[in-house]
Amino acid sequence: MRLDGRRQSSNISDRRGRSTGRTLGIGGGIVGAIIVAIITLMRGGGIGDIVSNVVNQGQGSYSYASQEYTPDAEDQRLAELASKVLAGTEDVWTEEFRRQGWGEYVCPKMVLYSGSIQSGCGNATSQVGPFYCSADQTVYIDLDFFKQMEQSIGASGDFAYAYVIAHEVGHHVQYLLGTLDEAHSAMSRLPESEANKISVRLELQADYYAGVWGNLDNKMFSSIEEGDVENAINAASKIGDDYLQRKAYGYEQPESFNHGRSSQRVRWLSGGISSGDPLRGDTFSPSYDYL
């Protein structure tokens, strides 16, 4: 991904190396931690306390912890990448909100942290993966997650990492448009299996918006290089609920899907990249079976 000469966002708070005290630990060994981290990748804020999501996996335990943190050269490179990608989302969505007549685009904040963090949605650790919290309109990310993506699921490349960030910003777009609150309100009134289907619709739309951002960012800055789209598509294919459940358990539980199948995630991300039109990202009207 071509980012040379790009501006960095002023909406980033770097809290790496600051311990929040009370944290949520995850038991079950490295495999359990990886699977929980990947499954919670890209969850929209407001669906519930991020901590609760981990507890519901049956592996949560509270503890007090602090840690030393010394960023290396790769950490600093990833921090710069995150800042430039966030700036790109600011430029793209500010212009798109104006063009669509959606009013002012209020830029989200981003918090970089290490280990654990206190967010507007509760306490969280790096095991939950990147997440958006609508309560404080902030994207939270431990940059080590990008390294874990490569190590645990073989997904790497700067545009793949940008896709993760753009997806979380996609949830912010949903929040500003009222989609997120409407969906969460509906989910609160439904049994879990039906609420999960709405969650899938939210996640697939955020994938689509991430693709839209990629298309429009490339038009603005010629940012996409050879192999970038393939890297993002590969990442999307590795974070589908079906892929992760087969990897973790050897079988699928479709009623528990809350992010979508790999094929669905690839389809909606690819659609956004191809069209660059946010109006074509309606994941709520089609029959669930045809998403």
Residue-wise pLDDT tens digits, 185-244: 999 999 999 999 999 999 999 999 999 999 999 999 999 999 999 999 999 999 999 998
Query: For residue 203, what is the enclosing H or E element?
Result: helix 192-221
- Percent with pLDDT over 70 in the chain: 82
pLDDT at 48: 32
d(CA 101, CA 289): 32
Mean pLDDT comparison of 47-56, 63-72, 263-272, highest-scoring range: 263-272
Residue-wise pLDDT tens digits, 66-95: 456 677 899 999 999 999 999 999 999 999
Parallel, antiparallel or unpaired: strands 138-141 and 109-112: parallel
Residue 213 · residue 166 · CB < 8 Å: yes
- Over residues 109-127, the mean pLDDT reads 91
pLDDT grade for 140, boundaries at 50, 70 and 90: very high
User: Which region among 53-62, 136-145, 228-237 has the lowest average model confidence (pLDDT)?
Assistant: 53-62
Task: Calculate the average pLDDT of the chain.
Answer: 85
Residue 50 has pLDDT above 80, yes or no: no
Residue 58 · residue 16 · CB < 8 Å: no
Residue 237 · residue 131 · CB < 8 Å: no
pLDDT grade for 38, boundaries at 50, 70 and 90: very low
| Residue 30 DSSP class | H
d(CA 207, CA 169): 10
pLDDT grade for 247, boundaries at 50, 70 and 90: confident
Q: How many CA atoms lie within 13 A of 45 on its CB side?
A: 28
Residue 26 has pLDDT above 70, yes or no: no
d(CA 236, CA 229): 11
Query: For residue 111, what is the enclosing H or E element?
Result: strand 109-112
- Over residues 47-58, the mean pLDDT reads 34
- Amino acid (1-letter code) at residue 228: D
This prediction's pTM = 0.86
The span from the first CA to the last CA of the chain, in angstroms, equals 29
